[in-house]
Amino acid sequence: MKTAAETDKQRWQRETLEPALKNAPERAKTFTTISGRPIDRLYTAEDVDAVTTNNPGEFPYTRGIHPTGYRGKLWTMRQFAGFGTPEDTNARYKTLLRAGGTGLSVAYDLPTLMGRDPDHELSLGETGKCGVNVTSLADMETLFDGIALGDITTSMTINSPAAMIFAMYLVVAEKQGASWRTLSGTIQNDILKEFIAQKEYIFPPRPSMRIITDIFAFCAKEVPKWNTISVSGYHIREAGSTALQELAFTLRDGLEYVQWGVDAGLDVDDFVPRISFFFNAHSDFFEEIAKYRAARKIWAEAMRDRFGAKSDRSWKLRFHTQTAGVSLTAQQPYNNVVRTALQALAGVLGGTNSLHTNSLDEALALPTAETATLALRTQQIIAYESGVANVVDPLGGSYFVEKLTRDMEDGALAYFDQIDKMGGMVDAIERGFPQREIAESSYRFQQAFERKEKIIVGVNDFVQADDPPIEILYIDESAAETQLAKLERLKRTRDNDQVTRTLDRLRSAATTTENLMPPILDAVRVYATVGEMCDALRDVWGEYEEVPII
Amino acid sequence: MARKLRVVIAKPGLDGHDRGAKVIARALRDAGMEVIYTGLRQTPEQIASAALQEDADVVGLSILSGAHNHIAPRLMELLKAKGLDDVLVLIGGIIPDVDVPRLKALGVKGIFLPGTPMQDIIAFINTHARVRV
């Protein structure tokens, strides 16, 4: 019986729980998420008294930005792919589109990502290895040969040289006869998370931010349906952050871009609707779902209240999700199919707008065509067989999920306060604040793994000695040789005077405040290479070097 | 008393994914070694010079990008030229099985794939590395 001073939960603890615990103690003293957040035994109505009871499609969108969830349109199944030469990757795209993929997503190799041509000394051994090599417009023409850019949407993971690669894409579209005004897709273009986590930066933070605001302004006028940035938590998480840090740093990065856009004289509602996000789907199921739900609410409120955005298109946070590469194991690789399926389900239950599922062999190599297809099938099974897409936000109202959502929001806002006090995200990065926070979390997780407080099946428990090897995609040096030969031929056959002239023009534009997209487009059209264009800007701005934080 | 083992952890190539390099640097330091982390994008020349200047007993490379077949032969050659052929060289990262014998033949003593416990790497170093005099 409940006493007068007792809540129902307290009565339950006294009458039912305590005797049960005496008979059968729990498996551990404390239970935590993969991020180390303590989890209580039970959540009840008493934990969620302050839950917002908003509806999907309505501010602040905790339950989703579409009133019909996935009943109207399923998420976009967008598989990230790229390797070797543009010819190799073009063939893979055609395979993915034939298998029912509904969007393309380009993975570039490290030389392209770092703005180096294949003939640079640092490109040694890297060309075509982690993605496709694109050195000039000629490669971009090959990459999308036979794929109508007016009919598909393309996401491109490119950051420091985003303006150059995007310009190449625009010129290919133009040559195919597609109007820039109807083109749709995304460039990642998120330099802040490069400084924070993935470290593929070229120029110092401030000129890097200027390129991004130039792209915002250019697209608002010329390519209005293009997502100009995909503010990314994915890499922050892969670098070892907690779910909360991923959420907080990503959204704070988003606020930083908005602030810089406003400071550059843009109207919030002209460019914010084209900002999209990219989150990780890690293994702790409910923590991830709470993260996505909190993200929508925080963004909506920040856009309306902090920046005075009036359009609901500015308030609605749209995001892509990728399952956690870092969770995949080289040991017993078939287990990765199961991990990925659970992570993908978390993304879907969290209301993702598009999704990439990793392939089972990605702790070993880039995926084969077979494993990439299996990864896509995983999404299709969730979409068409599981029934979860029949209803909007099925976990809304779960005491646990609502409480986690609320805690995620509070935690993120506390990080915002800290970063605001430092003067914003660029300043915080220059001080090494997010970098240090992530390094701490990643080391803490490693220690928990070593102590077996966190179990990874097949790695620190349930280990199998005779793990049979699987066939992997092995990328040899032929892609590098092909790309080098093409580059040499290009430099012989293009109009090198025009190249020099446009590069000089780009160099001088970088010393002023004029928008850099037009001079970059001019250089792209005469087949200047990514390396040459980035070098022109390196001449003016120099290169960033970080002080490593261990 | 003998000095501590000195370990240079280096991240060669263009890749910026430094989670592994940083975690291992810290774990070796916590295990009582003297650790020097070079930071990102080091050429084999820079790594060999760091090994010489820092009196390294151990050089650990973190490579995830597939560039190991180019970086390792060059580094081993440079270490030899500098008279550092008794330095223990280790690679951690994503290394396809077919490449392992080739790297071992070059003189890379330990190759550690994803999921290797830090304790295994520490034990390997303690067994195989000697303080160079």
Q: Find all residues with CB under 8 Å of B20, minimum gap 6, and list them.
A: B62, B64, B92, B93
* Pairs of CB atoms within 8 A across A/B: 108
How does pLDDT run along chain B (133 residues), one tens digit per residue? 578 999 999 999 999 999 999 999 999 999 999 999 999 999 999 999 999 999 999 999 999 988 899 999 999 999 999 999 999 999 999 999 899 999 999 999 999 999 899 999 999 999 999 998 7
Using the beta-carbon criterion (under 8 Å), do A110 and B17 form an inter-chain contact?
A: no
Q: Is A456's pLDDT higher than 90?
A: yes
| Residue A520 CA from chain centroid, whole number | 25
A143-163: pLDDT as tens digits: 999 999 999 999 999 999 999
Model pLDDT, residue A54: 85
Could you tell me the two tokens for A436? 């240090």
Distances in Å between the Cα of A197 and the Cα atoms of A147, A158, A234, A533, B56 are: 33, 15, 9, 25, 28
Write the CB contacts of A368 (distance below 8 Å, at least 6 apart in sequence): A359, A361, A471, A472, A473
Is pLDDT at A271 greater than 90 in this prediction? Answer: yes
Backbone angles phi, psi at B120, to 5 degrees: -65, -40
Domain presence at residue B126 = no
Spatial contact of A82 and A89, defined as CB atoms under 8 Å apart: yes
Mean pLDDT in residue range A64-79: 95
CA distance A201 to A208: 9
The tens digit of pLDDT for each residue in B90-108 reads 999 999 989 999 999 999 9
Q: Which domain holds residue B39?
A: 6-121
Closest by Cβ to A439, choosing from B22, B67, B114 = B22
Residues of B with a Cβ under 8 Å from any A Cβ are 13-19, 22-23, 25-27, 29, 35, 37, 39-41, 43, 65-71, 94, 96-98, 113-115, 117-119
Chain A partners within 8 Å of B119 (Cβ): 450
CA dihedral A111, A112, A115, A119 (to 10 degrees): 50
Give the integer Cα–Cα distance in Å for A506 and A508: 5
| ipTM score for this prediction | 0.92
CA distance A45 to A28: 25
Task: Report CA dihedral (B113, B119, B120, B126) to the nearest 10 degrees.
Answer: 130
Residue A548 reports pLDDT greater than 80: yes
The rounded distance, in Å, linking the Cα atoms of A62 and A392 is 11
User: Nearest-CA residue of chain A relative to B21?
Assistant: A550
Taking an 8 Å cut-off on Cβ atoms, the answer to whether A126 and B67 are in contact is yes
Please name the residue that has the structure tokens 């959502």: A405
* Chain segment A336-383, per-residue pLDDT in tens: 999 999 999 999 999 999 999 999 999 998 899 899 999 999 999 999
Average pLDDT over residues A123-148: 95
Is the pLDDT confidence value at A52 over 70? no
Q: How far is B103 from chain A (nearest CA, A)?
A: 15
Which tokens is A89 given? 């990757």
Cis peptide before B101 (omega within 30 of 0): no
d(C-alpha B113, C-alpha A545), whole Å: 28
**Phi and psi at residue A328, to the nearest 5°:** -75, 145
Average pLDDT, chain A: 95
Burial label, A179 (beta-carbon count in 10 A; 0-12, 13-18, 19+): exposed
Q: What is the pLDDT of residues A300-347, one digit of tens each?
A: 999 999 999 999 999 999 999 999 999 999 999 999 999 999 999 999
Quote the number of domains for chain B.
Answer: 1
Residue the block writes with tokens 């990503």: A250
CA geometry: angle at A365 spanning A363 and A368, to 5°? 115
pTM over 0.80: yes
- Provide DSSP, B15-81: ----HHHHHHHHHHHHTT-EEEE--S-B-HHHHHHHHHHTT-SEEEEEE-SS-HHHHHHHHHHHHHH
Q: Which two tokens stand for residue A411?
A: 């935690």
Helix axis angle, A433-450 to B19-30, nearest 10°: 60
- pLDDT band, very low/low/confident/very high, at A51 (cuts 50, 70, 90): low
Token couple for A73 = 């349109």
Superfamily name with CATH number, domain A69-450 = Methylmalonyl-CoA mutase (3.20.20.240)
CATH number of the domain encompassing residue B104: 3.40.50.280
Strand-pair partners of B42: B12
Subunit contact A126:B13, Cβ cutoff 8 A: yes
**C-alpha distances in Å from residue B24, one per residue of A45, A194, A387, B116:** 44, 21, 44, 11
In a 13 Å sphere around the CA of A116, the CA atoms on its Cβ side amount to 23
Residue B131 belongs to some domain of the structure? no
Alpha helices by DSSP H, A423-547: 425-430, 433-450, 478-493, 496-510, 517-525, 530-541
Question: What gap in Å lies between CA A493 and CA A477, rounded to an integer?
Answer: 25
Over residues A40-69, mean pLDDT? 89
Chain A contact set for B70 (CB, 8 A): 124-125
Asked if A170 contacts A183 with a C-beta cutoff of 8 angstroms, the reply is yes
Q: Which residues pair with A279 in a beta bridge?
A: A321
Spacing of C-alpha B24 from chain mean position: 10
